[in-house]
Structures are given as C-alpha cells and as structure tokens.
C-alpha cells in the first residue's frame, strides 16, 4: 500500500514544490494523480501474485510426474516378470516399490504446493481488495484536496 500512497501523494508533493502552492489542484492533475494511484495498485497486485505461478505449476504437474514414474515402475515390474518367467514377489516387488516411491514423491510435492497456493490466493484476494480500497481512498482524498479553497498567500 505504501507504493500506492507514494505514487499518488509523492507526485502531489513534487507538483506542489514545483508550483509553490498547496491547493487547489486542477481537475486534470487530480485525475492524473488518481490514475497513478490505480496504476500503482495494479502493479503492486501483479508483483505480489508473481510467485503464485510456480506453486500452481508444482501443485498441478507433480501428480502427473509421479504418475509417469508409477507407469515406468509398473513397466519395469512387468519386464522383470518377463525376464524371470514367473510372477514371484522377488521379481515384482522392486518395480512396484519404484512405482510407489514415484507416486509418493509426486504427492509429497503436490499436496503442500496446492495447500499453500490456495492459502496465498485467498490472502491475495483480501490484499487485492485492501489495495483497491486504499487506492480509491487516495483518489477521494486527492479530489477533496482539489476541491479545497486556495490558501491565502
């Protein structure tokens, strides 16, 4: 939210220093400063959401990677049966164990990633709402400053 405040009111202070007056603001300048606040709000939300892509990718891809490992393990088990000519536990177990390990690793990565992704998305929605409300409040404050009577010099 500091970035939103700085975008709007930092420019306001700069303009006031340059012009040597505190108020009133021209309507065009007020709109420009309000637009800067909205732009800063959108930029801040994008920055905060940037890490979510990795969590979403891990959460959705890891089970498929685990499934791929499972398929490879089962293929290995069947090849072991073919080489040995029998389906004894000693022949099948290594391939099945490999398959289960691959499944477990995929789930081990996907479950926490999905939980954290959902948690962060929920928090981001609330934070996005707060940032948007703050930007709207900055805009309203700028409009109040624009409507304020000029100070006597």
Q: Is residue 91 part of a domain?
A: yes
Which domain does 6 fall in, by range? 2-147
Q: Is residue 108 part of a domain?
A: yes
**Higher per-residue confidence, 112 vs 9:** 112
DSSP 8-state symbol, 23: S
Which pLDDT value is given to residue 107? 93
Provide the pLDDT confidence category of residue 90 given band limits of 50, 70 and 90.
confident
Q: Is residue 97 part of a domain?
A: yes
Which pLDDT value is given to residue 86? 83
Question: 17-21, 36-40, 45-49, 147-151 — which is least confidently predicted?
Answer: 147-151
Residue 32, pLDDT above cutoff 80: no
Reduce the DSSP state of residue 21 to 3 states and report it.
coil
CA nearest to 111, candidates 146, 66, 153, 63: 63
Q: Is residue 56 part of a domain?
A: yes
Q: Is residue 33 part of a domain?
A: yes
Q: What's the domain count of the chain? A: 1
Residue 148, pLDDT above cutoff 80: no
Q: What is the DSSP string of 90-150?
A: HHHHHHHHHHHHHHHHHHHHHHHHHHHHHHHHHHHHHHHHHHHHHHHHHHHHHHHHHHSPP
Q: Is residue 152 part of a domain?
A: no
């Amino acid at each position: 939210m500091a970035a939103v405040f700085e975008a709007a009111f930092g420019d306001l202070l700069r303009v006031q220093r340059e012009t040597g007056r505190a108020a009133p603001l021209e309507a065009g300048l007020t709109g420009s400063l309000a637009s800067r606040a909205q732009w800063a709000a959108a930029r801040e939300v994008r920055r905060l959401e940037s890490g979510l892509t990795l969590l979403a990718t891990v959460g959705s891809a890891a089970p498929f990677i685990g499934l791929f490992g499972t398929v490879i393990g089962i293929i290995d088990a069947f090849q072991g049966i073919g080489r040995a000519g029998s389906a004894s536990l000693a022949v099948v177990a290594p391939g099945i164990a490999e398959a289960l390990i691959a499944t477990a690793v995929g789930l081990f990565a996907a479950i926490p990633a999905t939980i954290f992704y959902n948690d962060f998305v929920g928090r981001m929605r609330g934070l996005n709402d707060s940032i948007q409300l703050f930007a709207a409040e900055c805009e309203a404050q700028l409009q109040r400053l624009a409507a304020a009577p000029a100070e006597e010099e």
